[in-house]
Amino acid sequence: MTTTTSVAAATAKSVDPAIFREAMTRFASGVTIVTTVDSEGRSHGFTATAFSSVSATPPLVLVCLDKSARCHPEFLRATEYSISILRSEHWDIAMRFASKIDDKFTSGFVSNEYGLSHLPDALVSLVCLPEQVIDAGDHTVLIGRVVSVELGDGAPAVFYGRKARELRDEQSF
């Protein structure tokens, strides 16, 4: 006789956090920099690989922010934010924004028409208004309504297996 485990019974067991994190490294993703400006005009930002479109009508995207990030409170108060989808040449910037250093905006960024820092040579630059904030474990999900889109060109930054990767040219079958 074959026995099966129901999903409800399986949820009583805990998934090892280290194994879960390792499993998530097996999903290739793009890389983004998310920025905002506080009420005193200081820029804040972070690197995010957890980014996705949510809806075309209205245009919504989501990005996930670690609650332990120093900029977390600023994004909870943000009235707008910018998302730059990175090119493969932006790895040094992605690493800088993933770190805990104080001045992440040392080079490469300009202020857009909304006063938000963004990369002018990004694959895509989005400006978002906060639509929804969702508490999700050790992260906060920020859903933003896209109010501005700028398109760039180049090869995307790809993150897989905790490493920067490059896409190979398309293969014919």
Domain boundaries, the chain: 16-163
pLDDT tens-place string over residues 82-120 = 999 999 999 999 999 998 888 898 888 999 888 999 899
User: SS3 for 131?
Assistant: strand
Cis, bond preceding 58 (omega within 30 deg of 0):
yes
What pLDDT band is residue 9 in, cutting at 50, 70 and 90? low
pLDDT tens-place string over residues 110-131 = 998 889 998 999 999 999 999 9
Task: Report the chain's mean pLDDT, rounded to a whole number.
Answer: 88
CATH of 16-163 among 3.40.50.360, 2.30.110.10, 3.40.140.10, 1.20.1440.230: 2.30.110.10
13-35 core/surface letters (b: 16 or more CB in 10 A; e: else): eeeeeeeeeeeeeeeebbbbbbb
